[in-house]
Structure 1
Amino acid sequence: MNIDLEYTEDNKNNNNNYPANNPATKKPIVKKAIVSNEKPKDIQTYSKPNKIQQTLNKEVLELFLTRGISENTLQSFKVSQSVHYFAQLKKEGISIDFNYYKNNELVNIKHRSLESKSFGLEKGCELILWNLDNVDDSHNQIIITEGEFDTLALGEVFGNKNIVSVPNGANSSKKQNLTYLDGKENAKLFEGKQLILFFDNDDPGKMLTDAFVSRFGAHRCLIPTYPANCKDANEILLKHGKEGVINAMDSIKFKKVDGIVDVSDFRHKVRDYHKNGFPKGDRIGLDNVDKLISFRGGELTMVTGISGSGKSEFLDFIMVQLAKIHNWNFGICSMENPPEIHFTKLAEKYLNKPFEDVINRSTGELYFEKMNDNDLDKAENFIFNHFNFITHKTTVSDGEKLRSTFSVDYILNQAKTLVQMYGIKGLVIDPWNTIEHVIQTTETETNYVSRILSKVIAFAEDYNVHVFLVAHPTKGVTVNGIDRVATLNDISGSGNFFNKTHNGISVFRDKKEANAPVQVHIQKVKFKFVGTLGVANLDYNRFTGNYTDSQEQIDL
């Protein structure tokens, strides 16, 4: 494999050290997508480290030599030492300092105690990848490790270019903190590049691998095979030398190969389920709903309901609650709601205040006071940090503005960009009937719906995103002229709206009774640990757009 990395002076003239050619390293073709929100998400003030840096003393150098890492490599990665207070040890001591540079400015330091494996980052400083400044845009690959020692071990063989470390390691939970990947600057850095994931060969390392694959896609992530007795890159260097590291690099392959997996590919997930229980998903904070359904990445939820039932309104409530309670980020493609109008609806739900004054028509008295400027600032900040709106791509031809249509491919390409830029966990497509549908001449509508839903589900699973798809039922959902609850099978086009989705929700409101509760019918739940079938009765506040548990709840 002709890897895009530089070799150290000791090795660059030794042809035996170059990895063999590997077709997996061909640069992928990545289509650029347009996202409506062009502002950076990382508008935040960070502290800067204030440490007196010292050159490495003999004791520190000897520690690294026992790990197979030379002084030249340490210098090339700008490793230094200082005196630091370690809270775990409750005392000051010599600290090995892994210095985090961004645009040649020191923005953070990870301290490692010389006498023990006590680690700590500087408080209030920016969280970035270690060795970020040595990523070269001209290369089409980046090696990412789970820790600085592994980066240094690889640096012994390949030099200091295009090898970085995550700042916070991995944990055994499915929820990994990847905020150091957020923002347009990082999206540009990773655009079009393959990622070689040299994470630890243990359960936390595999969880981190899954998180990166969800973020960037399996088609861009390459995984090495380690020797049987090695957990990480540094251990390979110690036990098998530089040749062992090169052999591991030669072994890289895509996370998913030919659609075949064995137990070793998902063992860490099974162990996690056994230890911590099945991943039940996040709930929205209403008891009547929470006991029926939760929401997690990698699934598709169909939402339907007769006209005027409030299906989009309830979905907005779900989004706001998941963002408030569980810090979800969303991509929204709402073809019937301009972003600025949609903003007002989300703001009302977030603040529990109306966007406009509510006046009693009979008396002229103020019934509900609208949100003030400070409220609006809070709502804007919340929505800015949790929601992005997918809009038309506009081009100009012969002086005429032309707008792109909303095809499923266009929407999913935009969503992939939002996953990479901001780590969105939810995608809303509302509604199905406004998407541009191109049915091939050789396929029926049923087959077309099946094909498109498979594409949406593949996106959800590959990027660990929960997709909410709103679809209107056919007209005439009545019994003896009286509205009834719509089902997923009432959606025009195909029974696959029920068959292929993970979860199904139908929203119903009796329009003849002004104060009748909103009924949320959970009509399908694929996995029993996510929820169950049933009906949740909710009261709706038409002034703020919020929902509360109804006192008329009837448990089946």
Structure 2
Amino acid sequence: MKPFYYLCDFPERKNAGKNFVTECPKCGKKHLYISKTTGVFHCFSSGCDFKGKLKDFWEERPSYNSSFTGTAGDKFMGTHYPTHNIRQERESGNGSGKATSEVPMIPEDYKKLPPEVFSKIKPLTDDPETKDQNQLAARRYLADQGISLKTAIEARIGCLMHRCYGKDEDNKSTGTMYHCIAYVNFLNGQPVNVKYRSCDPSTIKATDEGETTGREKAAGYTKFWSQDSPTTPCPPYHIDCINPLKVAEETVPRLIITEGEKDVLTLREAGYHYVISVPNGAASDLSKSFEAFEPWMNQARDIVICGDIDLPGRTLVKHLTDYFGERCLLTTLPGDCKDISDVLATYGIEVVHEIIESARPQHTADIVTVSERANGILNVLHGEYDHGYDVGYGPLTDHVFHPTDQGGLIIETGVPNSGKTDFLNDLTCRLMAKTGRYVCYLSFEVPDKDKHIAHLVQLMLGKVNTANYTQEQLKPIISFLDSHMVHLDLHEVSPTPNNIIARADMVRRTLPLKYLIIDPYLFMEVETNRYNTETQAIKAMLTQMQAWGRTNNIWVIIVAHPRKLTKLNGKNELEEIDMYTIAGSANWANLADFIFSISRINRQDSNYTRLDMLKVRDQDLCQTGSVLYVRQTCGRYDERESEEQVIAEAQGKVMSKDHSPWISLIES
């Protein structure tokens, strides 16, 4: 034996993907694997454990590497590292701020099974003449599970008589001796733990007619366990299958994780090589169990989780999904099978293949497939979809504003005193009266709620003076409004986006809310600081409002003021309002589904209001454009085709107006 080795010391090496395989100078067997990229080498012959790092690859490094490449091998060859990269964690609960050091485990930390334990385990053989009852009991059990003797021998399964216990047995000293199979777990080619599983039949059923096996078939087997493991926690069973020195590929395309060791055998029987099981079944602490092997698992592109369908099994699947995140693919088992081993025994290998190959990512509403929407797509192609509804003004308004019940974000803007709130009162009153939609107001501009609701009654009637109406005449309208609107006042909480949505959600859960009016944004409280600018805060608020609206099919209308407008070329005229003149952020324009501005035009020959629809996200039902309105004294707005019509009306021409009470349009 030499103190150091170079790559040239192994001239007869063979390529094995990203590694070399050659003869071990210690044991003489051709089980020495050498990493081409790191120079780490390890002999996987049981009992040898020759390991290290080629001197060609030696280098001084300032930090400790917990991956397989270069840890124990460097210590074996005497390489010195200046410091360890020690994880610092604060002691919890003492408030002292004292730091404690914790070094993560690496694969070389696992101790080998003691010789006295390992020597008791008999390797399975395929000797057809054997009379050994342990061999025969193990063969019978495996055959009834659908696992061939060849697969079991390749997995280095053992057998013996051993003392095992049931899961409810408290006193381990009273365990019973059973025929057992032994799941010996190898790490870096060395046995590091073993789990014993009793394989004695618990019930027997007669063989089917025509069966030529010459023996009765076991209908069930005892389920008693014990284990020997000199290191805690145990490593995952079959973990050596993804040992970087044994993996030829640059990337493991798919690693399957099961709950138990038998499931690993099942999947090996089905031809899957990269399969491991969690160390302690559904009760495993994943962070501790996988800590030493994270670099190994990082080789895997996808993690297929093949768990049991009982409650502990589903809980483990959830924990594994949380641990591995977006790499996870989940399997679906037949309803009459508890685990993948049941699938093999009941339906055979082809169904096992089908289950593994059809593993899919965890379902999330964030990912929409075509198949999920097939019926909806066909409905659209046949014209069967939400075509929106008229808001109650007429065809000119419908051309620029024709909403559906999808919900989303609507922004209204305009200079101060342009009639934004006044127009919204008319719009929302029409939505209630003519379409039956439910409206929630958060109106900072109208603190007197009685006056606001009284104005909506006047709009319903089309009258300014309602003093001559009796209580009996007015109560039906008030009752209608009571069933179609509500106010938020926010005396108990500040008007943050979260609080507004929380209060609106209280309305939504009990009432058919379709519109939430926030008038104006100026009074909302969004969090800004050195790390969160006004632009970022507005984007977050708009995104939150839009997402809530779309999720719940509610239109959120926010009134937002423009920034200070500049004068045009020194004239007394101001620049035109557009999507990007709204104060605070360009995200108003980016995130809104509709944006419209309201302007009051005061001329010597006429006065009118203009609505400019500045943005329409879905232009299938309406487009951008402008509509002119003449305001009635009661607050109703009547659309007009042109300025000429407005001027003619101002000069006395009789034009159509919406005078009729809207209460009569409401279906009882």
Which interval holds the TM-score relative to the shorter structure? 0.3 to 0.5
With normalisation by structure 1, the TM-score equals 0.48
Q: Considering Cα pairs closer than 8 Å and 6+ residues apart, tell me whether 1 or 2 has the greater RCO.
A: 1
With normalisation by structure 2, the TM-score equals 0.40
Question: Which of the two has higher C-alpha Rg?
Answer: 2
